Structures are given as structure tokens and as C-alpha cells.
Structure 1
């Protein structure tokens, strides 16, 4: 299984530090966080994109996935009036253009919180958004990785069965899905069950440990998630896609140290 480094943890470092560490520690690819100061889509000039491509080439670490910052302030396509929805659609379209500029093949888009609205309204808004985003993805040559979040983060489409139903209704090969092991674990699901439910539509995985009580993404080995058995069961089920070790804001104090620990522990688990 090829393993990626998520650059969110490096938001207080230079982006070159993330590429240098990925190469030094044996990561196979980069999942690029689309936030400032490194890669926020509206900042993605031709010069900035060229710099990111040059770093990728120099360190021989491809950028496979671009993950724009959204589903919080100020962008959440599941909430707001028509003008706010259009603004979010334009932002995510620009994000897919940015992904294409830096050579990424996938843009990761998660399902935000739908607010205190009726389930049918949330479903209709999600489907309308995905249809629009799929059109934008085709125009930029991107494949969307649709990520279901945990119930602590979203009230819409959080389980494997729900994401499978959405993909079936959408019926668009431009939109695939991925499993976040923490989001599954806190709902008493496993990554293997997610894969069995979604089949070939699941093409990516986020690896992290969990306390079982929140959406916190913890360094592998420091939580209660049975990572070794879950990864082995997933492999036996036939999953052969990629995985990113998803360390986020908890580890920004020393991202290099934690990036090294994370891949060493994950390689040992695999």
C-alpha cells in the first residue's frame, strides 16, 4: 500500500520542508492541504503552481491529491443561501483547477454539516452539489474523492451505506469515495466493511488512530483503534488503493518528528 504525507501539519513550516521530509522518510506521495500559506486555491498563481511542481520533481514525491479547506468558515456547500452556495461552488471549481495546475489527479471533497434542516432537504442539497461538482471535475480532468466525515463533524452521509447509496444515485464515474478510519471507527464500522459496501468506488484511505470518542486523528499506535487487524482485514478484502496518514492540527508543533514516527509505525503495522 502506497502511503502519502498530508501537509496540513506543516502549515507553520515552509512547504519545502514537507517535500523534503516525505522524501527522507519514505513516503510515496503528497496529499497537499489547500490552505494558506502554501496552497490555497485563490492564491494559486502560475508561479506558485510551478514552484510546487518543481518541489515535487526535485524530491521525487508526486502530488497525488489536493484537499481544499472547506466545510467550515467561510465555505460549506451544505449550508447557506443561494448566493453562498454559488460562492462555494466557484471556490471548489477553482480548487479543482488548482489541483490540475500542480499535477494532482484527485481533489478531495468531504460532506459538510447540513444544519438543523430536514433530512430530505439535506439529501437534495448534497445531490445538487455533487452533480455541479462532477461537471466541474470533468472540465478540469479531476476525479473527486468524496469523503464522509464523522457524526461529530457532519449530520449528512457519514456511514458506508449512506455513501454507497449517494454514489449509486449519482451514477457518475467522476466521483469516487474514500474511507477515513477514524470516522468509521467512531460509528462501529471498519475500513473493510466500508470497502465491501462501496466496492471499486473506494480508491483511497485515511489512516490515523482514534480515542473512540471524538473526531480526533491521533498518531498511529497512540489510540484505541485496532489498526493492525483492520489494515490486515482490509488487505484481505482486496483493497489495493492508496492511503494518506492523516495527521492534522494536533501535530503542528513538530511535524517532522511526527511524520517520521507515523510512517515508521504504519509500515510496521503493514
Structure 2
């Protein structure tokens, strides 16, 4: 299983620190957060893509995933007018283009809160239209669109493995796949491993992190309440060998380098324990 660094927590540091640390600490790849000041898609298009390519070449750490910021301001395709949805779709199409330019394998999208007055019928119609169009563009670029279910603290309708199952029932596109961030199922008392049974070949990526019930906080592996060692034993048993990003986000922005090191040291230790079982 390949272990990746998520760069959102480094947004107060130079982007180069991400690549330096990923190489030094032993991460296999980077999942690049697409927000300013580092890798906002329009900035990449305007020329910043050259800096990302330079860092990839200098440090020999690939960017496998690109995760553009689009769950709140100013982009959220699940809420607002049609013009606002259209703006978000165009932004994510550009993100797919930039992902291809940096050699990434996937762009991650997560359907956020659709607003207090929207019905499920309205939300599903909007999501299906959006993901169908983005999936068509993903097929053209050859970059997968990975769809993530969120916690109920982040989304008011797309939060469970069954929501991904329903999306794939509606949209049959090999470039539209799913993933599991382990925090949403944990805080909803849902099975993490059920994602693998329900999604099958569509289960393409993971965010592995620790968490606590009653919050969507993403905590360093081994420092929360999720039984990660046992989960890693199960991943070994089923033969999961794809990508797993350690998704440290903004809770550790004061010292991202300290915590990025601790996170991978902890997960490698837990993986070694699972190997001995």
C-alpha cells in the first residue's frame, strides 16, 4: 500500500517544504491540495504548473492525486444558482487538465452541503448532472475522478458508502471511482470495511487518519479512537495495495513538518504490527 502526504496543512509554508519532507520522511507520493498559495488551478494554468513539475523532478516524489479546494467558498457545485454550479464545474474541469499536466492519476471531488431547503431529489439531480459532465471530461484527459463521501458535519446528503453505490448505479463511467476516508464511517457508526464489499472494483483510494466520535477532526494516526492497527490487518487480509493518503488538514498548520513526520512514523509502525499478525 502506497502512503501519501496531503499538503493542505502546509499552506503557511513554502510548497517546496512538502516535497522536501515527503522525500525525507519516506512518503511514497503527494496528494496535492489545490488552494492558494500553492496549487490553485487557475494559478497553475497561468504558469505555476512549471514550479510543481520542477519540484517533482528535483525531489523524485510524484504527485499522484490532486485535490482542488471546492467544498465552500467560492466553489461548491451542490449549492447556489446554475451559474454558480457551472463556474464550479469549469473550475474542476481545469483541475483535471492541470492534474494531467503534473502527471497525477486522479482528481478528488467531494459533494458538499447542498443547503437547508434542498430536497434529496434536487440534490441527486444536481450531483448526477455534475459528476456525469466531470466524468466525461476525466475520460478525455485520462485522469480519474475520485468521489469521496463526507461526514454529516460537512455534507447534508452524501455521507455514506451507499451514496457512492447509488452514484455508480446512475453513472457508468470507468473514470469515475470511489474512495473511503475512514473518519466519515467511523463517526456515523458505519463499517469502514463495508466500502470494499459495496464498491468492489470502484474502491480506488483511501484517506487514513485517526478520529474521535462527535467531531470531524482528522487526528494523527494512533492518537484518536479508530482501531487502525486492526483495520490495517484487515486491509492486509483483503490485499488492498492501492493508495492511502494521511490526510492531515488544518489542525496541524502551526508545525506541519513536525506532525507530517509523526504521522508517517506512526502509520509505518502500525503497518509493521499488522504485518506480524
1:264 is matched with which residue?
Answer: 265
1:153 is matched with which residue?
Answer: 154
Paired residues of 1:23 and 1:61 also in contact (CA < 8 A): yes
Report the CA distance between 1:190 and its aligned residue: 3.1
TM-score by length of 2: 0.95
| Correspondence 1:216-231 to 2 at 5 A | 216-231=217-232
Q: Does 1:9 align with 2:9?
A: yes
What CA distance in whole angstroms lies between the structure 2 residues aligned with 1:188 and 1:239? 22
Describe the superposition over 1:74-111 as per-residue Cα deviations: whole angstroms up to 9, x where unpaired: 11111111111111111111111111121112000111
Paired residues of 1:29 and 1:64 also in contact (CA < 8 A): yes
What CA distance in whole angstroms lies between the structure 1 residues aligned with 2:222 and 2:70? 28
1:111 is matched with which residue?
Answer: 111
1:81–1:46 distance in 2 versus 1, CA, 3 Å: closer
Paired residues of 2:112 and 2:158 also in contact (CA < 8 A): no
Instruction: Identify unmatched segments of 5+ residues in structure 1.
Output: none
What CA distance in whole angstroms lies between the structure 2 residues aligned with 1:150 and 1:36? 24
Identify the range of structure 1 (232-241 vs 220-229) with the bigger mean alpha-carbon deviation.
232-241
TM-score by length of 1: 0.97
Describe the superposition over 1:103-156 as per-residue Cα deviations: whole angstroms up to 9, x where unpaired: 112000111111121111111111111111112212322100101101111012
C-alpha RMSD of the superposition: 1.1
Paired residues of 1:204 and 1:243 also in contact (CA < 8 A): yes
2:235 is matched with which residue?
Answer: 234
Task: Report SS of the residue matched to 1:114.
Answer: coil
Instruction: Identify unmatched segments of 5+ residues in structure 2.
Output: 272-277
